[in-house]
Amino acid sequence: MDNLYDYLHEKFKALGGTQIGSGLSAEFILLAFFPLVLIALLRGVNDTIAIVLALLFIVAVVFSAPFVVKVSKENTDHYNIAAFYVAIVMGIVMFIMLGGI
Amino acid sequence: MNSELIPLMVIFPLISAILLNLMHGKDKVVRAYGILAMLVVLVVPIFASYGNHLFGAHPVVDTLPQLKISLSEVNLAIEYNFAFLQKALVFLLAAIATFAVLSHISNEKKVSGVYLSMIMLSIAAVSAVVMANDIFNMFVFLEIMTIAQAAIVIAVGGVSGYKAAFKYLVFGGVAGASILLGIALLLGTFGVLNISDLHNSLSGNMTNPIVLTAVGLIVIGWLFESGLFPFHTIKSNMYSAAKPDIAALLQTQTKIVLVALAIVLLRLFGGYSNMTAVMLGLSVGTLIIGSVMALLQTDFRRLLAFTAVSQAGLVGIGIGLGTRLGIAAGIFHAINDAIAMSLLFITVYFIYERAKTTEFKRLGGLLVQAPKLAFIQIIGILIVSGVPPFNAYQSEFRIIDATIQAGHPELGVLVILGTILTFVALMKGFYLTFLKENTTKIALGKVHIYNGLPTVTYVTLIILVIACVGIGLFPMPFYDRAYSVALKILVGW
Amino acid sequence: MINPVGTIVIALILGIVFGMSIRGEYFNKKTYATIFGFALFIDIFMGSFPYYTWDIFVELPVSGIFLAAMVGLFTGKAFRER
Amino acid sequence: MKFQQSQEMRNLIAAIFVGIFSYFIIKALTDFDIVPGVSYIYNLRGPLIAPNMITVILFDWRGYDTLGEAFILITAVLTTGILFGRGVLGGDVSEKDSTPIRPSTIVQKVFAAPLVFIIVAFGVVITLGGHITPGGGFQGGSVIATAFFLSVVVYGFKKNVFNLSHNSLETLEGVGALIYLCLGLVGLGLSGYYLYNVGADLYPYLGVGDTATRLFSYPDSTNAGIIPYLNIGIALKVLSGFCTIITVLWGAEKK
């Protein structure tokens, strides 16, 4: 397990001064968050599909961990990142309102 | 019924703003008038009686056939509603703003009249948004609020403040234009601006694509004003760039505006499930991302900023459920959380004013120097994390209950996850500030002789703790009122 | 406004307010003459421009407000130079 | 290089989503029928108050909205002041003056000063005739502000025709806004409704006293009530707001 600690230490350096404990807590919450959202979205369609997809998603997310580095990079104070997400949400909101999803 | 004191809640802060700006430079006058004005601002909502106010005395008229509106009667004037919810929100705003004004007056050697006038303008604007029953009037005061908030952050000075305010104004322009375009589409389609009239015209019209466009545009504006998902970095940047006492005021205003605008949206388009789905989905994202980001911060102010944003997401979840229980719990949580987060921001303000920094790597070991502050802060952390017997427990419990009742148990799990994460983040902040060994020997500096800050801060903190415990022990008066508002939203005003 | 004279009085007051803040260094007798000549010219062309329906303006086809504001500006400037 | 590529990809995605957004808005704007709605009643009863319908809607039916818009301008002006150092925490930062970039020609110097007189007088006319003819406080104030701009551009800020400092402009702006707010309070005191158009008497049943009605009325075919006075307040506010902005920006140019 020492290797895992070193690995995470190396990865979390990008966050700049964050403790590994906080990074790990955030990571685990994110791991729980995505499959739950997937289930919440797809449960209306079919329970089995939702569970299977969520399990697959967990596997995929675990292999691409640590996820928290990417999330924190996308939530900095930079103007262009905020503008990018605002543009996407504007499009999606209008599409949901009128596209009839 | 007409109540004369209702417009004074907006007009008096506006007059005070003008006068304080004119007095800028005369220190004693500004101090005296600032305290006096805050007293009036606090007292007026208590004594105002419930009812409506019609501006310009223009009454309701029976419609003429030429109007092309299928309503039996139409409001001519701008109308303000004032009921228990409005009273609670306006009073809460006035109370938090009083601390911001008093802390400025008691802390600064040279008082800035312009700064106080901006605080007054934001109070007036938020009060107007809360009470307005007219969608265009609401927009006008939202714009005033956006500019005034940016000005308060600019007044702190420094590059970070300028950057935050610039971003806030740019995206505020996008959101404001979006709301205005939505209002224009509604006005063009139905010819009325009064929200009650629009509600009556809109019932059964929710398949009109122009109305749906308007819904989307106003929802985008709502997302900005309440700091939800795509705008959460901008809001948190504003909170962390402002002084923490102002951040307390800003987050209170954000939650109040969130509730006010959400009530308008639900009253107008409540029957449209896609809208509540969008609100719910983005709120869930804000809750989780906000608390994750809070955990990763290295500065106490930024940590609290992201916590405040994630709590706004929690309020949004309650409202976005669109059920009676959910809306009531959301409104209730907005009030509770505004108080609790203000408590935390004010404790950090005290540290910031005396240690001149809130970075974790420079703080530490403050428990020895400020045990009382540490005690109050740990109470605040427990309140925000939803521990009984405090008020946020009552509302978070009801939000989780509402998610399960609404048939979304996964959301309940997510709310619990977010709450745990908030608790972990805040405890991390507490540990690094108060418990960790102080390696850099930063001490809480001595305060000046003119500085009445400790007294003001401690009195405010104790009042806020008492309010939290009081609402926590006796939640029903507030929750029942919130529930009746929710009933009215869904059944009709 | 209170009566037909009200507009003229208010125009005069506004003129004095702005005239009080005007510096004198760019003006001499020729400038004053030019301004007044132009003012009269514009005045007659404007006619009874804001079209108040009171008798006093119907009979006198010049813009009383414009003239009053002009007189106010000169008065205010004279006040300031004293 | 890798970052740049990802940025380009993101720009493309953002452009697509903004395209979707714009498509729906343009579609909504192209096909909708406008219903006159309450503006029909406004137009029906407005001529009882004053002939200029725009002014009547702005200052009577929706006078409170106009108050809010005036305050947007005030807030923006104050914010500009804060941005350049007035009222920041820890004491004001002084403003510097700067001379014009290019010296003015002799024609400009001779004609600007007389023109200022005429423009100011014309602005006053537009303000005072606002309830009868096209015009009003916003327009008149802007016209007077152009006189200030002209003199600043030609003579430089320090030697311009008007001797208005930043502080006196702030005072003028405050006075303008207070005129508006206090005229609203007159209505609140007399009838119980904020911004009630006291002299106009559209609703005689409110029982506002005779003296008050006579104070704001004049022997005309229509009776605009407090609208002309509101126009004066707005004009003072708008002109001083614009002048403050140019003062601040001109002083900040050289820093």
Question: Under an 8 A CB cutoff, do A91 and D7 touch?
Answer: no
pLDDT at residue B449, rounded to an integer: 43
Residue B360, SS3 per DSSP: coil
Nearest to B220 among A32, A77, A93 (CB): A93
pLDDT reading at D221 higher than 60: no
* Residue D179: partners with Cβ closer than 8 Å, 6 or more residues away: D229, D230, D232, D233, D236
pLDDT at residue B170, rounded to an integer: 94
Residue B359, SS3 per DSSP: strand
pLDDT at residue D201, rounded to an integer: 64
Question: Under an 8 A CB cutoff, do B163 and A72 touch?
Answer: no
- B/e letters for D116-151, b = 16+ CB within 10 Å, e = fewer, are bbbbbbbbbbbbbbbbbbebbbbbbbbbbbbbbbbb
Strand B79-82 to B60-62 pairing: unpaired
CB neighbour class for A100 (10 Å; exposed up to 12, middle 13-18, buried from 19): exposed
A91 touches chain D (CB under 8 A): yes
Question: Under an 8 A CB cutoff, do D13 and A98 touch?
Answer: no
A90 touches chain D (CB under 8 A): yes
pLDDT in 10s for each residue of chain C, 82 residues: 545 677 788 889 989 988 888 887 777 888 888 888 888 888 888 776 776 656 555 666 677 788 888 889 888 888 888 7
ipTM: 0.91
Q: CA separation (Å) from B58 to B80, D40, D227, D248?
A: 13, 15, 15, 41
Residues D145, D47: Cα–Cα separation, whole Å: 30
Tell me how long chain A is. 101
Residues D64, D67: Cα–Cα separation, whole Å: 5
Q: Where are the domains of chain A?
A: 2-71
C75 touches chain D (CB under 8 A): no
Instruction: Find which of A50-59, B144-153, D196-205 is predicted with most confidence, using mean pLDDT.
Output: B144-153
Q: How far is C18 from chain D (nearest CA, A)?
A: 8
pLDDT at residue A60, rounded to an integer: 82
Question: Under an 8 A CB cutoff, do D36 and B68 touch?
Answer: yes
For residue D219, say if its preceding peptide bond is cis, omega within 30 degrees of 0: no
Residues A27, A16: Cα–Cα separation, whole Å: 16
Give the distance between the most distant pair of CA atoms in chain B.
79
DSSP assigned state of D204: G
Question: Under an 8 A CB cutoff, do C54 and D163 touch?
Answer: no
What tens digit of pLDDT does each residue of D222-235 get? 677 788 889 999 99
D22 touches chain A (CB under 8 A): no
Between B469 and D202, where is the model more confident? B469
Question: Under an 8 A CB cutoff, do D17 and A88 touch?
Answer: yes
Residues B406, B192: Cα–Cα separation, whole Å: 34
Residues C51, B242: Cα–Cα separation, whole Å: 53
DSSP string computed for B27-89: HHHHHHHHHHHHHHHHHHHHHPPSEEEEGGG--EEEPPGGG----SEEE-S-EEEE-HHHHHH
Q: Which domain holds residue C34?
A: 4-81
Bridge partners (DSSP) of residue C22 are: D162
What is the signed CA dihedral for B309, B314, B316, B318, rounded to 10 degrees? -170
C2 touches chain D (CB under 8 A): yes
What subunits make at least 3 CB pairs under 8 angstroms with A? B, D
Question: Under an 8 A CB cutoff, do D41 and B61 touch?
Answer: yes
**∠D18-B188-D48 over CA atoms, to 5°?**
145
Token pair belonging to B140: 């006008």
What tens digit of pLDDT does each residue of D38-81 get? 888 888 888 878 888 888 888 888 899 999 999 999 999 999 98
Residues D159, D112: Cα–Cα separation, whole Å: 13
CB B199 within 8 A of CB B263: no
A83 touches chain D (CB under 8 A): yes
Token pair belonging to B42: 């606090």
CB neighbour class for C59 (10 Å; exposed up to 12, middle 13-18, buried from 19): exposed
Residues B351, B374: Cα–Cα separation, whole Å: 10
Residue reference for tokens 């521990």: B387
Token pair belonging to B437: 């060994």
pLDDT at residue D44, rounded to an integer: 83
* Cα–chain center distance at B293: 20
Residues B472, B394: Cα–Cα separation, whole Å: 6
Residue D71 gets the label, from left (phi > 0), alpha (psi -120 to 50) or beta, of alpha
CB B266 within 8 A of CB B320: no
Indicate the residue type of C60: L
CB B434 within 8 A of CB B374: yes
pLDDT bucket at D206, cuts 50 / 70 / 90: low
* Residue B28: partners with Cβ closer than 8 Å, 6 or more residues away: none
Token pair belonging to B75: 């409001």
Residue D88, SS3 per DSSP: coil
Residues B463, A101: Cα–Cα separation, whole Å: 48
Question: Under an 8 A CB cutoff, do D25 and A80 touch?
Answer: no
Indicate the residue type of D27: K
Strand B51-54 to B79-82 pairing: antiparallel
Bridge partners (DSSP) of residue B52 are: B2, B81
Residue C74, SS3 per DSSP: helix
Residues D178, B19: Cα–Cα separation, whole Å: 9
pLDDT bucket at D252, cuts 50 / 70 / 90: low
* Residue D77: partners with Cβ closer than 8 Å, 6 or more residues away: D173, D241, D244, D245
pLDDT at residue D2, rounded to an integer: 57
pLDDT in 10s for each residue of chain B, 493 residues: 567 889 999 999 999 999 999 998 888 999 999 999 999 999 999 999 898 898 888 878 887 777 777 787 888 889 999 999 999 999 999 999 999 999 888 888 888 899 999 999 999 999 999 999 999 999 999 999 999 999 999 998 788 899 999 999 999 999 999 999 999 999 999 889 999 888 888 877 778 889 999 999 999 999 999 999 889 999 999 999 999 999 999 999 999 999 999 999 999 988 788 899 899 999 999 998 999 999 888 899 999 999 999 999 999 999 999 899 999 999 999 999 999 999 999 999 988 888 888 888 888 788 888 888 899 999 999 999 988 889 999 999 999 999 999 888 888 999 998 999 999 999 999 998 888 887 666 666 555 544 567 888 889 999 999 999 999 999 998 899 999 989 888 876 5
Residues D23, A94: Cα–Cα separation, whole Å: 10
C57 touches chain D (CB under 8 A): no
* Residue B233: partners with Cβ closer than 8 Å, 6 or more residues away: A75, A76, A77, A81, A82
CB D248 within 8 A of CB D173: no
> Which chain C residues contact residue D121 at CB under 8 A?
15, 39, 66, 69-70, 73
pLDDT bucket at D255, cuts 50 / 70 / 90: very low
Residues B481, A47: Cα–Cα separation, whole Å: 38
pLDDT at residue D1, rounded to an integer: 47
Residue reference for tokens 């790990």: A24
Between D208 and B91, where is the model more confident? B91
Indicate the residue type of D12: L
CB neighbour class for B350 (10 Å; exposed up to 12, middle 13-18, buried from 19): buried
pLDDT reading at D176 higher than 80: yes
Tell me how long chain B is. 493
Residues B234, B487: Cα–Cα separation, whole Å: 33
> Which chain B residues contact residue A21 at CB under 8 A?
428
Residues C26, B133: Cα–Cα separation, whole Å: 54
Instruction: Find which of B104-113, B412-421, D96-105, D200-209 is predicted with most confidence, using mean pLDDT.
Output: B412-421
Among C21, C29, C73, most D C-beta atoms within 10 A, so best to mutate, is: C21
Between D67 and D35, where is the model more confident? D67
Residues B167, D132: Cα–Cα separation, whole Å: 43
Residues A20, A4: Cα–Cα separation, whole Å: 11
Q: How many domains does chain C have?
A: 1
